[in-house]
Amino acid sequence: MIKKPFLEALKGHVADHPPFWLMRQAGRYLPEYRQLRASAGGFLDLCLDPIKACEITLQPLRRYDMDAAILFSDILIVPFALGQSLQFLEGEGPCLDPVRSADDLSRLRLEGLLATAQPVFEAVSRIKASLAPEKTLIGFAGSPWTVACYMVEGGGSKEYAHVKGFAYRDPQGFKALLELLSHATIDYLCAQIDAGAEAIQLFDSWAGIVSADDFEDFVIKPTVSIVSALKARHPHIPIIGFPRMASLGLADYLRATQINGLSLDPGVPLSWAKEHLQAPMLHKGLSVTLQGNLDPCLLLAGGAVMRRAVEKILTVMQGVPFIFNLGHGVIKETPPSHVAQLAALIRGQESHDA
């Protein structure tokens, strides 16, 4: 059987060169994506078109031969499939009809989720059928807290005052929202796994704005319920958690969730994570693979400044289970040649500074 370097790393194996993929590796920095996007109705139409979603997923692998493909979709498909209205407005990002009360919540329906999201699962099957045997297909979802942020705010936000306002004003109602999202996410991810996803990443992009006293209830508990349900049904599917900017919450998150991989934002020194997050787990006989965490702005800059940062990461993480990635998604202005330079550096190939 052909071994998949990405899955091997998640089992705790160490290779000469770490496997790599990039968050938002498919998207607007690629001219072939922009071309396909222009011919489709909009971003949501792309996500719900299995043939186009499959094509976009594979675009970055054709150029850079990453070790893993991530399903082209969005974390907001879950609220959309629960019945919340969703639009992606040009230049503004997502726009949803906000959910701010028990009444709004009562209009969301778990029952229609799998049927509405069916094109996503069909995209997963298509991608899986077209991937080379040494490549891994990553499925994903947002974590309940982060998805709730968008659902309650009605889009992106600076202060996240509505979502926190809901949580503090009506703790029972907010708990019900997080529980609904946990159930929805479990069904949604199990369907991705049944369709062919071989690993899962849970994006908790806004974990870092939660106050220390709420971190357990808003971030850890919903994640634990998802991880334990997935592990009960699909024990061999590895799960990577990405609690972005969780800083002092990282150790508790790791201990409580027992995820296989921990994706780190650029603010976490990898040498510290290796010593204080990874090593204590290894001592207990539990392996955790670290992933990350090059600043996407260094990929945007390219050249010698990026090369030095990549070399530092590779040196620090030599000899321990590691997957190379960015600390957040590829920025849309990134020149594609910088991604080629990055791929060459990770593989230890000769590279001319772009």
Catalytic residue among 64, 150, 188, 253: 150
If one asks whether residue 205 binds ligand CP3 (CB under 6 A), the answer comes out as: yes
Is 83 a binding residue for ligand CP3 by CB under 6 A? The answer is no
**Distance from C-alpha of 98 to C-alpha of 162, rounded to nearest angstrom:** 9
Residue 6 is a binding residue for ligand CP3 (CB under 6 A): no
**How far apart (Å, rounded) are the C-alpha atoms in residues 299 and 309?**
10
How many amino acids of this chain bind ligand CP3 (CB under 6 A)? Answer: 23
**Would residue 74 show up in a list of annotated catalytic residues for this protein?**
yes
Q: Which of 37, 100, 244, 307 is catalytic?
A: 37
Q: Which two tokens stand for residue 313?
A: 């990461």
22: helix, coil or strand? Answer: coil
Alpha-carbon gap, residue 245 to 160, rounded angstroms: 15
Where does this chain touch ligand CP3 (CB under 6 A) — which range of 22-30, 179-187, 256-264, 307-315?
22-30
Q: Which residue number, 197 or 320, has a Cβ lying nearer to ligand CP3?
A: 197
Quick one: which of 6, 29, 37, 82 contacts ligand CP3 (CB under 6 A)? 37
The reply to whether 28 sits near ligand CP3 by the rule CB under 6 A is yes
Residue 264 binding ligand CP3, by CB under 6 A = no
Name 96's bridge partners: 86
Whether 24 sits among the annotated catalytic residues: the reply is: yes
Site map (CB under 6 A) of ligand CP3, residues 39-78, x = contact: ----x--------------------------x-xxxxx--
- From residue 301, give the alpha-carbon distance in Å to each of 20, 21, 304, 330: 19, 19, 9, 12
Catalytic residue among 24, 126, 244, 307: 24
- Give, as ranges, the residues between 115 and 154 that touch ligand CP3 (CB under 6 A): 140, 142
Query: Is 150 labeled as catalytic in the residue annotation?
Result: yes
Residue with tokens 């994903």: 140
State the minimum distance, in angstroms, from the CB of residue 53 to ligand CP3.
9
Which residue stretches of 41-170 are H helix?
A: 43-47, 50-64, 77-81, 102-106, 113-116, 118-130, 144-153, 161-169
Q: Is 334 in the site for ligand CP3 (CB under 6 A)?
A: no
Give the residue with the Cβ less far from ligand CP3, 184 or 320: 184
b/e map 206-242, b = 16+ CB within 10 Å = bbbbbeeeebebbbbbbbbbbbebbbeebeebbbbbb
Window of 25-33, 164-172, 216-224, 266-274 that interacts with ligand CP3 by CB under 6 A: 25-33
Q: Closest separation between CB of residue 220 and ligand CP3, Å?
A: 18
Beta strands in the chain (DSSP E): 68-70, 86-89, 93-96, 136-142, 199-204, 239-243, 261-263, 289-294, 322-326
Q: How far is the CB of 315 from ligand CP3 (least distance, A)?
A: 27
Termini Cα distance of the chain: 37
With respect to ligand CP3, which residue has the nearer C-beta, 61 or 345?
Answer: 61
- State in angstroms the smallest separation of the CB of 318 from ligand CP3: 26
89 CB-contact burial (10 Å; exposed 0-12 / middle 13-18 / buried 19+): exposed
Look at residue 234 and give its three-state secondary structure: coil
User: Shortest Cβ distance from residue 52 to ligand CP3 (Å)?
Assistant: 12
Alpha-carbon gap, residue 163 to 148, rounded angstroms: 7
Using CB under 6 A as the binding rule, whether residue 203 contacts ligand CP3 is answered as yes
Binding mask 157-186 for ligand CP3 (x = CB under 6 A): ------------------------------
Dihedral-angle region of residue 303 (phi above 0 means left; psi in -120 to 50 means alpha; beta otherwise): left
Minimum CB separation of residue 9 from ligand CP3 in Å reads 18
Q: Which residues are catalytic?
A: 24, 28, 37, 74, 150
The site for ligand CP3 (CB under 6 A) is made up of: 23-28, 37, 43, 70, 72-76, 88, 93-94, 140, 142, 156, 203, 205, 329
